């Protein structure tokens, strides 16, 4: 992925903070929250959220809220679903399970909730 191309296509100024965020998001294999990366970034919380909001407005980034009341972010890519564990709040991308098609609607994301493999193997109760 060419970072400069993302900014050119969206008519956005390439700042060091924005470049840093895109690099981190593109290196992650699952959605991340501010809390997940705050130790990796060189910007304050306000700068993070201001830039993430701009990315969402320009459809560069997609977000959703999890069971833990945190907002998780990932780069827009191929449509896919997510699984969130009700016990440990683990989030997993389900690449082989695409969002459902509903006539007359545009579905961009489907979130499944339940108990993950790790918690099921540990015989934890919901």
Q: Rounded distance, CA 117 to CA 42, Å?
A: 35
Domains of the chain: 1-76 (1.10.10.10), 78-126 (3.30.1490.190)
Give dist(CA 41, CA 16) in Å, integer: 11
Alpha helices in the chain (DSSP H): 3-9, 16-27, 34-37, 45-57, 117-121
- What averages of pLDDT result for each successive group of 10 residues across the chain (126 residues)? 84 92 92 94 94 94 92 88 93 82 85 93 62
**What's the whole-model pTM score?**
0.83
Q: What is the CA radius of gyration of the chain?
A: 16
The answer for 122, left when phi > 0, alpha when psi is -120 to 50, beta otherwise, is alpha
């Amino acid at each position: 992925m060419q970072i400069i191309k993302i900014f050119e296509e969206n008519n956005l100024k390439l700042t060091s903070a924005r470049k840093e965020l895109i690099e981190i998001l593109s290196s992650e294999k699952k959605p991340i929250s501010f809390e997940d990366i705050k130790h990796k970034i060189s910007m304050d919380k306000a700068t993070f959220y201001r830039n993430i909001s701009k990315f969402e407005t320009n459809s560069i980034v997609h977000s959703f809220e999890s069971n833990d009341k945190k907002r998780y972010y990932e780069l827009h890519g191929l449509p896919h679903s997510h699984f969130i564990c009700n016990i440990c709040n683990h989030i997993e991308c389900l690449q082989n399970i695409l969002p459902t098609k509903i006539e007359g609607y545009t579905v961009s994301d489907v979130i499944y909730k339940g108990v993950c493999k790790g918690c099921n193997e540990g015989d934890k109760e919901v």
